């Protein structure tokens, strides 16, 4: 057994710290990985002592109420070490049984290969892609600071939780760690504590050849409080470091814990091979001997369960907070009601009143505008009525038009502000938004559609976690013009539409933009992307019923009165008005057309087959017009006779010239449809 007892002095009391408390984490993690024949034992073995100190001495949480709003948050950024977290959750009393640990990485288990939110009780975010957990933690800590500033009152700290994040060398190598950590320091997130598992090993071997910067100096330059050279296997040193970190509420803290990967494994400790492979039967037995662990696999003595059980302490923490909350409700009833609404994820009556007030003006808009301008109008109308809405942009506020005059920028001195200047940090912005969303906020974030690529993995994680995040993606096509092909998206709409559980809106005018915002704000089971134009588009003539029809994802904007037509044209965004002009020109040749605007293909494909078939009634010529690649339109049409879009990268020239180059003009499109219909008639 490694060091049977250690003594820690804290709060003027001495208590006995039994090292088997950490050994059980090592054993459970290694056994589960061994049974699964898959997993990453190195990190759980190496960080077991840190997790033990954190959960025994600092974490305020309630296994019987995992969603208690003032619980401390724990994020495992190096998510491959998930068995460490599962073992902790099991031992402390969360709804993870010993059988769940035995089912590690099995189909349908509650213990997947990397932590998953919200499937695993006690897991705060889906982590695995390295560095994103750190950025999620920044978002969670940001939410605590923002909401705490707005709602805490003297003597009533309703929201004062800490966010702890474990990060590995890989997390700190990823560029997102720079983006997110820089912002955390800029925002003075003093309730954020990151513990770095500094073991100097990654999959390819010793990291000294590819990761040799002075990380502590790097974090000092970000404005973090840094506690360096902590022995990650010495509980006294770990306890002292976390205690020191908690005393500094002006800065986020990095604790550099120097550890040995695979600690406790006689032959594999410190070796790269222990990172991602089961120990094997022989090494597993030697680990047991090294730790003097004599119990059968997955057999934990009741004395150890008693040592770890956090349910009683969690109830005390939770009950004390409920008393505080009761006093808060009595003294500040209006603020308490608003907080409850935020925690429940509901929008207030004031929001619905705003929508009702503006609905007809949105439908009857009679002047041309870019849809990014339309979006700004909607934000201006609605934002003040949504207490949990918080916006931002990656240094493109004046281009995305994501800020309205009454929004106060969030800053160290104005943490109540509801607008975030993220700087040029798209990836961190998307991942921080995910952290805000799991913290009951409704974040919207802005950048150019083409720069979605920088943050797409975090967008994917938002969709996977079913988070209410709204991505505002402007400059949506070749229409942005002179900036050229590096800034003109072509394949991005298809990529976004391929992302499961992401609703992609490309509105055509103010009314459709308002519908996109409304639907995205009401949606509670996943993210939405609202794709907007730089260039102005003419307004579309709407019926009053169109306000509802838009929310079905597609509706007829021209020729809806005809039961059968010669040509069916589907279009989105800036191409809808173009499609209407094409239909009007064809009508001069006695061809009837129906133009269907498809602001959200995903929602349209969720409608009953009968409704979709009725709207897209068969026509001799079926056409799609969209200034993007063709991919995925086959989902809703049984055939596409003519597609007018982009099959190559754009050009640097004024937008109208680029549209003409690619044949996206009224004359070219109507001529080709006319020729197609004429050929059909000739064949008949």
- The candidate with the shortest Cα–Cα distance to 467, out of 498, 432, 497, is 432
- The candidate with the shortest Cα–Cα distance to 434, out of 480, 465, 391, is 465
At residue 327, does pLDDT exceed 80? Answer: yes
Instruction: Transcribe 423-481 into DSSP letters.
Output: -S-HHHHHHHHHHHHTTT-EEEEEEEGGGHHHHHHHHHHHHHHT---EEEEES-SGGG-
Condensed to tens digits (0 to 9), the pLDDT of residues 460-469 reads: 999 999 999 9
Encoding tokens for residue 322? 């409920």
pLDDT of residue 684: 62
Q: How far apart are CA 289 and CA 299, in angstroms?
A: 16
Write down the CATH number for the domain with range 349-537: 3.40.50.970
Catalytic residue list contains 512:
no
Q: How far apart are CA 627 and CA 489, in angstroms?
A: 9
Condensed to tens digits (0 to 9), the pLDDT of residues 139-188 reads: 999 999 999 999 999 999 999 999 999 999 999 999 999 999 999 999 99
pLDDT tier for residue 618 given thresholds of 50, 70 and 90: confident
**Which DSSP category does 153 fall into?**
B
At residue 11, does pLDDT exceed 50? Answer: no
Encoding tokens for residue 451? 């720069």
Could you state, in order of their start, the residue ranges of all structural domains in the chain? 5-312, 349-537, 550-683
Higher-pLDDT residue of 479 and 682 is 479
pLDDT of residue 24: 97
In angstroms, how far is CA 29 from the centroid of its own chain?
28
pLDDT tier for residue 13 given thresholds of 50, 70 and 90: very low
- The candidate with the shortest Cα–Cα distance to 502, out of 514, 512, 494, 510, is 494
Measured torsion, CA atoms of residues 18, 20, 26, 30, in degrees rounded to the nearest 10: -170
Degrees, nearest 5: CA angle 506-512-515: 105
pLDDT of residue 4: 30
Instruction: Transcribe 242-279 into DSSP letters.
Output: HHHHHH--SS-EEEEEE--TTTT-TTTTT-GGGSSS--
In angstroms, how far is CA 505 from the centroid of its own chain?
18
Instruction: Transcribe 118-140 into DSSP letters.
Output: TTSTT--S---STTHHHHHHHHH
pLDDT tier for residue 131 given thresholds of 50, 70 and 90: very high
Condensed to tens digits (0 to 9), the pLDDT of residues 234-246 reads: 999 999 999 999 9
Q: Say whether the peptide bond before residue 615 is cis (omega within 30 degrees of 0).
A: no
Contacts of 67 (CB under 8 A, 6+ apart): none
Condensed to tens digits (0 to 9), the pLDDT of residues 177-189 reads: 999 999 999 999 9
Higher-pLDDT residue of 285 and 683 is 285
Q: What is the mean pLDDT of residues 461-479?
A: 98
At residue 8, does pLDDT exceed 60? Answer: no
At the topology level of CATH, where does 5-312 sit? Rossmann fold (3.40.50)
Contacts of 375 (CB under 8 A, 6+ apart): 401, 402, 472, 474, 513, 517, 530, 532
Fold match between 349-537 and 550-683? yes
At residue 231, does pLDDT exceed 90? Answer: yes
- Percent of the chain whose pLDDT exceeds 90: 94
Encoding tokens for residue 193? 């504590």
Phi-psi region of 363 (alpha: psi -120 to 50; beta: other; left: phi over 0): alpha
Q: At what angle do helices 132-151 and 175-186 cross, to 10 degrees?
A: 20
Cα-Cα end-to-end distance for the chain = 89
At residue 17, does pLDDT exceed 50? Answer: no
At residue 268, does pLDDT exceed 80? Answer: yes
pLDDT tier for residue 86 given thresholds of 50, 70 and 90: very high
Check if the beta carbon of residue 263 is closer than 8 Å to that of residue 45: yes
- Look up the pTM and report it: 0.96
At residue 18, does pLDDT exceed 50? Answer: no
- The candidate with the shortest Cα–Cα distance to 357, out of 375, 373, 381, 380, is 381
SS3 369: strand
Mean pLDDT (the chain) is 95
Asked: is 550-683 a CATH 3.40.50.920 domain? The reply is yes
At residue 7, does pLDDT exceed 60? Answer: no
Extract long-range pairs of 114-118: CB within 8 Å, 24+ residues apart: 114/79, 114/80, 114/82, 115/76, 115/79, 115/82, 115/85, 117/438, 117/465, 118/465, 118/466
Q: How far apart are CA 522 and CA 470, in angstroms?
A: 11
- Active-site residue among 124, 426, 512, 602? 426
Condensed to tens digits (0 to 9), the pLDDT of residues 561-589 reads: 777 899 999 999 999 999 999 999 999 99
Stated as kind and residue range, the H or E segment containing 420 is strand 419-421
At residue 43, does pLDDT exceed 50? Answer: yes
Q: What is the mean pLDDT of residues 125-135?
A: 98
pLDDT of residue 617: 84
Contacts of 337 (CB under 8 A, 6+ apart): none
Q: How many CB atoms lie within 10 A of CB 33?
A: 24
**Which DSSP category does 563 fall into?**
S
Q: What is the mean pLDDT of residues 47-58?
A: 98
pLDDT tier for residue 406 given thresholds of 50, 70 and 90: very high
């Amino acid at each position: 057994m490694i060091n049977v007892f250690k003594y820690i002095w804290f709060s003027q009391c001495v208590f006995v710290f039994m090292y088997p408390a950490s050994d059980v984490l090592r054993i459970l993690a290694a056994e589960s990985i061994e049974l699964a024949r898959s997993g990453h034992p190195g990190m759980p073995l190496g960080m077991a002592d840190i997790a033990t100190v954190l959960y025994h001495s600092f974490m305020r949480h309630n296994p019987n109420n995992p969603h208690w709003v003032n619980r401390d948050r724990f994020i495992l950024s190096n998510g491959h070490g998930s068995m460490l977290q599962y073992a902790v959750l099991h031992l402390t009393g969360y709804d993870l049984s010993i059988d769940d640990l035995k089912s590690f990485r099995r189909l349908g288990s509650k213990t997947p290969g990397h932590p998953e939110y919200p499937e695993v009780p006690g897991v705060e975010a889906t982590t695995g892609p390295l560095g994103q957990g750190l950025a999620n933690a920044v978002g969670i800590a940001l939410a605590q600071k923002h909401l705490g500033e707005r709602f805490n009152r003297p003597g009533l700290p309703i929201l004062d939780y800490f966010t702890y994040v474990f990060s590995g060398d890989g997390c700190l190598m990823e560029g997102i760690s720079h983006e997110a950590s820089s912002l955390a320091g800029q925002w003075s997130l003093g309730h954020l504590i990151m513990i770095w598992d500094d073991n100097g090993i990654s999959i390819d071997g010793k990291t000294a050849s590819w990761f040799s910067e002075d990380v502590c100096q790097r974090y000092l330059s970000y404005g973090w409080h840094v506690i360096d050279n902590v022995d990650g296997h010495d509980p006294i040193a770990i306890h002292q470091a976390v205690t020191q970190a908690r005393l500094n509420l002006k800065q986020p803290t990095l604790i550099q814990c120097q550890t040995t990967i695979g600690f406790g494994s006689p032959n594999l400790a410190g070796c790269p091979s222990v990172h991602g492979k089961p120990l094997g039967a022989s090494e597993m037995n030697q680990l047991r001997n090294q730790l003097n662990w004599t119990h059968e696999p997955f057999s934990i003595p009741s004395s150890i369960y008693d040592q770890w059980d956090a349910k009683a302490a969690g109830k005390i923490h939770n009950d004390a907070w409920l008393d505080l909350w009761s006093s808060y409700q009595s003294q500040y009833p209006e603020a308490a009601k608003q907080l409850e609404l935020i925690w429940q994820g509901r929008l207030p009556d004031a929001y619905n009143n705003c929508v009702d007030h503006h609905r007809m003006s949105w439908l009857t808009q009679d002047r041309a505008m870019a849809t990014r301008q339309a979006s700004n109008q909607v934000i201006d109308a609605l934002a003040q009525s949504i207490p949990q809405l918080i916006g931002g942009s990656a240094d493109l506020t004046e281009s995305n038009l994501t800020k309205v005059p009454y929004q106060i920028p969030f800053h160290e001195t104005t943490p109540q502000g509801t607008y975030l200047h993220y700087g040029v940090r798209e990836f961190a912005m998307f991942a921080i938004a995910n952290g805000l969303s799991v913290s009951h906020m409704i974040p919207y974030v802005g950048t150019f559609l083409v720069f979605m690529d920088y943050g797409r993995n975090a967008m994917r994680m938002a969709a996977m976690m079913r988070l209410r995040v709204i991505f505002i993606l402007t400059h949506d096509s070749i229409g942005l013009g002179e900036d050229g092909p590096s800034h003109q998206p072509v394949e991005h709409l298809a990529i976004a539409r391929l992302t499961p559980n992401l609703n992609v809106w490309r509105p055509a005018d103010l009314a459709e933009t308002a519908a996109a915002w409304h639907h995205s704000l009401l949606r509670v089971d996943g993210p939405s992307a609202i794709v907007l134009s730089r260039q102005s588009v003419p307004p579309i003539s709407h019926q009053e019923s169109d306000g509802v029809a838009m929310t079905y994802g597609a509706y007829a904007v021209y020729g809806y009165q005809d039961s059968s037509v010669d040509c069916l044209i589907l279009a989105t965004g800036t191409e809808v008005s173009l499609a209407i002009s094409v239909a009007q020109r064809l009508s001069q040749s006695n061809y009837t057309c129906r133009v269907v605007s498809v602001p959200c293909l995903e929602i349209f494909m969720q409608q009953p087959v009968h409704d979709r078939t009725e709207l897209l009634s068969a026509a001799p010529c079926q056409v799609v017009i969209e200034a993007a690649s063709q991919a995925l339109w086959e989902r809703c049409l049984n055939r596409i006779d003519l597609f007018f879009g982009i099959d190559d990268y754009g050009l640097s020239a004024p937008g109208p010239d680029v549209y003409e180059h690619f044949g996206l003009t009224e004359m070219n499109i109507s001529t080709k449809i006319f020729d197609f219909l004429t050929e059909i008639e000739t064949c008949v």
